[in-house]
Chains A and B, each alone.
Chain A
């Protein structure tokens, strides 16, 4: 018996009858079965209750006949029992399951980037025009020694450095696995990273055979499910990343349902077709820090010490102490993923309540590594909700070596943050393996959109650097004097290590 759901439609689909020509483009474009054609009346109509507000139909409607607006849902005002709370309970009452969602934490927690402002030069210090002067964004990731030894006569180096990886812009694409996103998305990321001289990350789903040609710009992940991890995979990579946790779901594993495990996904993940791909919550060979050290060294052995090994954790309460342990355990790069970091699927309660803002985690990790005198031993990469070049500059000034973007890259490909990634129905063809939808991403166009994004950000970063009178990104890294806080408490300023604006 199908019981009537108590959930009201979230969106109202307005079709302007003067404009609609019954072409049914929207019927084809909407993967959530909203639009349908009524042949009897020769009219396109909507099941509004299915609409997720992704705006795919709006963009593709040839006559601009469609408007999607929020259903006002004017319940009686109640600050505690907001519509979202009521609807979550309703859903649980109707399904009895854990509520799943996609993307990152969408709650109104303070976004510290929006409370930090950047410095510029005036009079005593000339700003530098990036159109006329070199402006250097090149960054090397990897472990650095505290000092160099030189032969005094020949001035040749006696110190050999651990492997270093060069990126032309301090912005990389964060882990998004094949299966969670489509192959066309990964292809776009891989090609854009190669063109822009930066790196993309396979996520935990292995490296598809067609993407080995981009291996030089690839970070491969070793996660708790060990999907697709084999010697060729490890040795192809520029960097190997051990994934301990993810900002959207700290402490939680992953689950790629069997329906999404196509023959191709199965081959890449080295699992049988159609089986659920379950990533356990912890790595079952890492129950403590010395276990992590063993895995790091096993991976370095397996690749003959030619690649930096990164360790990625979700930003949680004791990140600083954990990060110190990771560096001491041999991690060459530490990756911190804040609670706004996105996911293909996570329990909503975890996504919205667990973890801490990346700004605070980054500031305290950078400070603590410096206090311990081991900051140079590892690069710091951060991720989790970075939206613009302004955020990137602020992150570098707080101490990051490089920034991962995930959501921003998907937005460049069309994503509108409808948060339906867990449904596998992504109308933009991003977060799905349905061939009817994945072909919506054309890797040529995707590559161009992504390289454009990186290009505009790097031009903007250069503008900001020039304004500060700085012509190399390493002079910004950890240079918190170029930041000031606005509207922050004393404790927040202390943790961020910045002064109040006007001071």
Chain B
């Protein structure tokens, strides 16, 4: 059994501590666009990182394989690769396998091998388990059991590209300007207690979920213990991992909508709840009573993405920055407004969301901005 902890957090600190730049851009009509502007935007926040991690998530990237699980896997050795491929062949139906195209650059030294696989699940093999659960278990298996291999992403029609370097260097290395997607998130990292390790860069991903995160979660200890009770094993001792699992639990397993999830991770204060209309009071109170152990405390900004949805919010008292911008049907989320203005100088709207208040971009609904109550949301045309 390999210990990802060792790799990711070799000094076994409570958690990986890092600060960062984050950026997200989504066309809510679903129209795909190239990563060129996203790369320029995140590069504009160069000084928020220290070159020990950069990464991107792209949704709508592989329309030709939309029904397949797209596995992006990093290898540190040939043996790791052959072992993983044997494992995958045994557990899945192989559609395609290829090396992820890269270009040689000066900045990226000693890159690992990165391959992608388009896989289908054989219904018989999952023994009645839902496909997603089956895939998630296999990802955990590769990550924890097979030496020299780590799964970057495993969702459908989405992909994560990440590594050690500044984000713009990673983008250059993986030729990201050549890809298109309708939703991009990006991350530049400043870790304090972890050596550069390609698997440790953001976005962190499980199935279709990706998380880019700037912050340190002081509730990590209890968030992690709570999730362990639901069978999630935090193998990397990072707080970002905890966010991804929390979202997976709440949305996929408990069937809660994303804006409710934001109210669990960054709930309103009790005093503010008291001031809500009666039914909202009851809802928010109950959410806190039941899911209090998932409240994320401490300074953070996070952008969580999934198919058709991007959501950004900060901790309840906004100890880390987040700016939102809208131009026509495009939603921008960024650590700094300058990064948005650089690629879109004439925004229709730009604002700093209140602490804990989610900004949601969705293919199904118009962009929800600034403090919309649930009643208003229910009235809004879909």
Contact = CB atoms under 8 A, between A and B. Distances in A.
B297 A155 contact: no
Interface stretch (A128-136, A316-324, A428-436): A128-136
A474 B294 CA distance: 9
Contacts of B225: 370, 478-480
B326 to A, nearest CB: 24
Interface string B1-32: 00000000000101101010000000000000
Contacts of A5: none
Interface in B287-331: 287-293, 295-299, 316-317, 319
Given A121-B218, A471-B317, A477 B293 contact: yes
Nearest to B272: A134
Interface in B247-296: 253-257, 260, 269-271, 279, 282-283, 286-293, 295-296
B216 A475 contact: no
A134 B256 contact: no
B218 to A, nearest CB: 4
B286 A124 contact: no
A50 interface: no
A125 B216 contact: yes
B299 A469 contact: yes
Contacts of A470: 218-219, 297-298
Given A145-B290, A370-B228, A480-B221, A124 B216 contact: yes
Interface stretch (A146-154, A172-180, A349-357): A146-154
Nearest to A140: B289
Given A134-B269, A153-B378, A472-B297, A478 B222 contact: yes
Contacts of A376: 229, 290, 293
Interface string A41-74: 0000000000000000000000000000000000
B192 interface: yes
Contact of B222 (A134, A157, A373, A479): A479
A148 B254 contact: yes
Interface string B346-382: 0000000000000000000000000000100110000
Contact of A157 (B282, B288, B292, B299): B282
Given A128-B317, A136-B269, A478-B225, A469 B218 contact: yes
Contacts of A479: 219-222, 225
A375 B257 contact: no
Contacts of B254: 147-149
B268 to A, nearest CB: 10
A493 interface: no
Contacts of B271: 134
Nearest to B280: A155
A95 to B, nearest CB: 52
A468 interface: yes
Nearest to A138: B270
B229 A148 contact: no
Given A370-B228, A477-B292, A149 B255 contact: yes
A147 B222 CA distance: 17
A376 to B, nearest CB: 7
Given A478-B221, A479-B219, A147 B290 contact: yes
B192 A124 contact: yes
| Best-buried of A121, A376, A480 by chain B (most CB within 10 Å) | A376
A211 interface: no
Nearest to A373: B229
Nearest to B250: A147
Contacts of B282: 157
A201 B261 CA distance: 37
Interface string B222-236: 100110110000000
B257 A474 contact: no
Contacts of B255: 149-150, 152
Chain A CB count within 10 A is highest, among B12, B17, B293, B378, for B293
B290 A477 contact: no
A126 interface: yes
Contacts of B283: 150, 155-157
Interface in A453-490: 468-472, 474-482
A148 B291 contact: yes
A149 B317 CA distance: 28
Contacts of B374: 155
B220 A481 contact: yes
Nearest to A374: B229
Nearest to B257: A152
A479 B223 CA distance: 8
Contacts of A161: 286, 289-290
A121 B290 CA distance: 27
B222 A133 contact: no
A273 B255 CA distance: 61
Interface residues of B, number: 47
Contacts of A503: 12
Given A156-B279, A475-B218, A124 B297 contact: no
A147 B192 CA distance: 36
Given A125-B298, A155-B374, A472-B295, A150 B221 contact: no
Contact of A471 (B220, B256, B291, B297): B297
Contact of A475 (B222, B257, B260, B299): B222
A279 interface: no
Contacts of A148: 254, 256, 286-287, 290-291
A442 B294 CA distance: 45
A475 B290 contact: no
B247 to A, nearest CB: 14
Contact of A124 (B17, B270, B287, B377): B17
A471 B316 contact: yes
Interface string A212-234: 00000000000000000000000
Nearest to B319: A126
Interface in A223-257: none
Given A148-B291, A469-B298, A157 B218 contact: no
A182 B216 CA distance: 51
A499 to B, nearest CB: 8
A144 interface: yes
A374 to B, nearest CB: 9
Given A121-B218, A157-B286, A370 B229 contact: yes
Contact of A474 (B256, B286, B295, B298): B295
A306 interface: no
Nearest to B13: A503
A164 interface: yes
B283 to A, nearest CB: 6
Nearest to B225: A478
Contacts of B220: 479, 481
Nearest to B190: A124
Nearest to A133: B317
A481 B226 CA distance: 13
A152 B260 CA distance: 10
Contact of B297 (A138, A469, A480): A469
Nearest to B296: A475
30 contacts: A121-B298, A124-B192, A125-B17, A125-B299, A133-B317, A134-B271, A147-B253, A148-B287, A148-B291, A149-B254, A150-B256, A150-B283, A155-B260, A155-B374, A155-B377, A157-B286, A159-B290, A164-B289, A370-B225, A370-B228, A469-B216, A469-B297, A470-B298, A471-B317, A472-B292, A474-B288, A474-B293, A479-B221, A481-B14, A503-B12
Q: Which 8 A-B pairs have the closest CB atoms?
A: A481-B221, A474-B292, A475-B219, A475-B297, A479-B221, A479-B222, A469-B218, A125-B216
Given A155-B257, A469-B298, 20 more contacts: A124-B216, A125-B218, A125-B298, A128-B317, A148-B256, A148-B291, A152-B255, A152-B257, A153-B378, A155-B378, A159-B286, A159-B290, A161-B289, A370-B225, A471-B297, A472-B295, A472-B297, A474-B222, A475-B218, A481-B15
